[in-house]
C-alpha cells in the first residue's frame, strides 16, 4: 500500500526533534509498502529552512518520499504567529497532497491539529481511508497550560477536535490515557488503537561511555544528568535551575540541557544571573547524535509542569534514555511514571519540587552501582515492551485492516 502522511514537523535522523514517524515509515517500507510524507519547509525546533527553493521541494530519504511545502516562519514568536504558521501549512500541504498519486490511505497527526483538516480533505478527495493520530490532547493541553484562553477560540478548537475524531475512519493514540479521553468524546473503543511512543533500540549502545562528548564539553569526572528536548513553557526547566542551585557545591554533578525552544534564552540568562557552575546548555542536535550524547550521561531527566493533563503523556525522551541504558529522573506523574516503576528503571520526583529533584540527583550520584543497575533494567524493559518494530507492525495491521474493509 501507499501511505501518505501529513505532518508539519516530520523529522529524519539528520534533524533535531522526534523521529517516531520516520522510524515507523522505514519499517513500513521494509515490509514492502510505499511511504510519502508532506512536511514543513521550516524546522519547528530551530527555525532553519530546509534545503531547496520554492514553495514545494522533494527529497528521498531511506526510501521515503518527502515533500516540504511552504510554511510561514514563526519560531518562538507569539501564539498568533504560530497559528498563522499552522494555517499556512494546512493550505500548502493540501495543495501538495493533491499532486501525490496512487495513495491508498492518508494519515494525519496532531498536534498541530490544523494539519488534520488537510489529511481529512485529501482522504475524501482521493476516496481512501483517513487515519487520525492523537499525539497530544490538543486543545486541552493548551488550555491547561494557559496558552489558549479566549473562550471563542477554545470553543472553535474543541469543535475542530470533535470533527476530526468523528470523521476519521480510525484513530491511533500514542498513550494509553488518550483512549479514555477519546471515549469521553463519544468515540467508540473499536475505532481506537494504541501505538505507543517507543524507540529504535538498535540506535543505542548501553555500554558506550561517551568519552568524546565528555571531553568536548568539559564533563570528565562528573555525574551528568542530561535533559534532551524542547525548552518551552510546558517543560518547567526553571525547576532544574533551582535544583542545580541547591547542588552548586557538588562540583561532581553537572546538569546538561540539550535542545531549543521559546524559553531557552530566558533560561540561559537566569543561569548566568544565578552564576550556576553546574549547568551546561547545548544547542539542538540531530537525532543521529543522541546516542553519543546519552552515552556521556549517567542519568536522563524528564520534566513537565505540574498540570493534570500532563499525567496522560508518554514523552519520547524517556524511551531514548531507557534504550541508552540510563535511569530516568522523572518529574512527571501519571502513565509514564507507571512505565518507569514497572521497569524499575529510574526514580520519580514530584513535579515542581526543586528540593526533591536535587535530593534524587544527589542520591544517584552517591550510588553509581544503583544508577547502573536501574539503567540495565530500563534497557531490558524497553526492549521487551516499547521496541519500534513492534509498534510498526501494530500500525501496519491497522492500515491493512482499513483497506480490507473498504
pLDDT at 37: 98
For the cut 90, the answer to whether the pLDDT of residue 358 exceeds it is yes
Q: Which residue has the cell 510498526?
A: 392
Kindly state the cell numbers that stand for 281.
546548555
Report angle CA 330, 275, 289 to the nearest 5 degrees: 50
Mean pLDDT computed over 116-144? 93
Q: What sign does the dihedral 202-206-207-209 (CA atoms) show?
A: positive
Q: What digits encode the pLDDT tens for the residues 147-168?
A: 788 888 889 888 999 999 999 9
pLDDT at 79: 74
Least confident range from 35-44, 94-103, 267-276, 314-323: namely: 35-44
Q: What are phi and psi of 58, to 5 degrees?
A: -130, 140
pLDDT at 83: 85
List, as one string, the DSSP characters of 145-179.
HTS---HHHHHHHHHHHHHHHHH-SEEEESSTHHH
pTM above 0.85, yes or no: yes
pLDDT at 266: 96
Mean pLDDT computed over 78-86? 83
For the cut 80, the answer to whether the pLDDT of residue 46 exceeds it is no
pLDDT band at 390 (very low <50, low <70, confident <90, very high): very high
For the cut 90, the answer to whether the pLDDT of residue 130 exceeds it is yes
Distance of CA 96 to the CA centre of its chain: 25
Q: Taking the CB of residue 250, how many other CB atoms lie within 10 A of it?
A: 17
List, as one string, the DSSP characters of 282-348.
E----GGGHHHHHHT-SEEEEE--S-GGGGG---HHHHHHHHTT--EEEE--SHHHHHHHHHT-EEE
For the cut 70, the answer to whether the pLDDT of residue 75 exceeds it is no
101 Rama sector, left if φ>0, alpha if ψ -120 to 50, beta otherwise: beta
For the cut 80, the answer to whether the pLDDT of residue 47 exceeds it is no
Contact 48, 41 (CB under 8 A): no
Tell me the average pLDDT of the chain: 93
pLDDT at 406: 63
For the cut 90, the answer to whether the pLDDT of residue 182 exceeds it is yes
Q: What digits encode the pLDDT tens for the residues 308-319?
A: 999 999 999 999
Distance of alpha carbon 115 from alpha carbon 103, whole angstroms: 18
The 3-state DSSP class for residue 43 equals coil
User: Hey, what domains does the chain have and what are their CATH numbers?
Assistant: 2-198+387-404 (3.40.50.2000), 201-385 (3.40.50.2000)
Task: Give, in order, the Cα–Cα distances in Å from 143 to each of 155, 230, 307.
Answer: 11, 19, 11
pLDDT at 154: 87
Which is nearest to 90 in space by CA: 63, 115, 119, 61? 115
Residues above pLDDT 70, as percent of the chain:
98
315 Rama sector, left if φ>0, alpha if ψ -120 to 50, beta otherwise: beta
pLDDT at 141: 84
Mean pLDDT computed over 257-283? 95
pLDDT at 236: 96
Contact 321, 146 (CB under 8 A): no
For the cut 70, the answer to whether the pLDDT of residue 178 exceeds it is yes
- Of the ranges 37-51, 132-146, 195-209, the best mean pLDDT one: 195-209
pLDDT band at 386 (very low <50, low <70, confident <90, very high): very high
pLDDT band at 43 (very low <50, low <70, confident <90, very high): confident
Mean pLDDT computed over 112-138? 95
pLDDT at 389: 95
Distance of CA 46 to the CA centre of its chain: 15
Q: What digits encode the pLDDT tens for the residues 189-240?
A: 999 999 999 999 999 999 999 999 999 999 999 999 999 999 998 999 999 9
Amino acid at each position: 500500500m501507499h501511505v501518505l502522511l501529513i505532518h508539519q514537523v516530520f523529522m529524519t535522523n539528520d534533524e533535531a526533534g522526534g523521529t517516531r514517524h520516520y522510524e515507523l515509515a522505514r519499517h513500513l517500507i521494509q515490509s514492502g509498502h510505499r511511504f510519502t510524507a508532506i512536511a514543513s519547509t521550516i524546522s519547528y525546533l530551530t527555525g532553519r529552512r530546509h534545503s531547496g527553493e520554492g514553495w514545494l521541494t522533494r527529497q528521498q530519504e531511506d526510501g521515503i518520499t518527502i515533500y516540504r511545502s511552504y510554511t510561514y516562519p514563526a519560531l518562538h514568536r507569539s501564539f498568533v504567529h504560530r497559528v498563522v504558521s499552522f494555517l499556512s501549512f494546512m493550505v500548502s500541504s493540501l495543495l501538495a497532497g493533491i499532486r501525490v498519486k496512487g495513495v491508498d490511505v492518508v494519515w494525519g497527526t496532531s498536534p498541530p491539529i490544523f494539519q488534520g483538516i488537510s489529511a481529512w480533505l485529501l482522504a475524501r478527495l482521493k476516496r481512501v481511508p483517513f487515519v487520525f493520530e492523537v499525539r497530544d490532547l490538543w486543545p486541552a493541553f493548551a488550555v491547561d497550560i494557559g496558552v489558549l484562553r479566549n473562550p471563542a477560540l477554545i470553543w472553535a478548537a474543541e469543535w475542530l477536535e470533535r470533527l476530526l475524531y468523528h470523521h476519521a475512519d480510525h484513530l491511533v493514540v500514542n498513550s494509553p490515557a488518550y483512549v479514555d479521553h477519546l471515549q469521553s468524546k463519544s468515540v467508540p473503543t473499536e475505532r481506537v488503537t494504541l501505538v505507543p511512543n517507543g524507540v529504535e533500540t538498535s540506535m543505542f549502545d548501553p555500554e558506550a561511555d561517551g568519552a568524546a562528548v565528555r571531553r568536548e564539553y568539559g564533563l570528565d569526572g562528573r555525574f551528568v544528568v542530561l535533559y534532551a528536548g524542547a525548552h518551552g513553557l510546558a517543560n518547567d526547566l526553571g525547576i532544574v535551575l533551582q535544583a542545580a542551585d541547591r547542588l552548586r557545591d557538588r562540583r561532581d554533578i553537572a546538569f546538561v540541557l540539550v535542545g531549543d525552544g521559546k524559553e531557552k534564552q530566558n533560561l540561559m540568562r537566569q543561569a548566568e544571573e544565578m552564576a550556576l557552575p553546574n549547568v551546561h546548555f547545548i544547542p539542538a542536535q540531530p537525532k543521529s547524535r543522541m546516542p553519543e550524547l546519552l552515552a556521556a550521561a549517567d542519568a536522563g531527566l524528564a520534566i513537565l509542569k505540574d498540570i493534570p493533563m500532563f499525567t496522560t503523556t508518554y514523552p519520547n525522551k524517556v524511551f531514548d534514555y531507557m534504550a541508552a541504558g540510563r535511569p530516568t529522573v522523572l518529574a512527571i506523574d501519571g502513565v509514564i511514571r507507571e512505565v518507569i516503576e514497572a521497569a524499575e528503571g529510574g526514580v520519580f520526583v514530584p513535579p515542581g519540587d526543586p528540593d526533591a529533584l536535587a535530593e534524587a540527583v544527589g542520591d544517584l550520584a552517591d550510588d553509581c552501582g544503583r544508577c547502573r543497575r536501574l539503567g540495565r533494567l530500563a534497557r531490558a524493559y524497553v526492549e521487551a515492551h516499547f521496541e519500534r518494530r513492534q509498534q510498526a507492525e501494530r500500525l501496519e495491521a491497522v492500515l491493512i485492516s482499513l483497506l480490507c474493509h473498504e
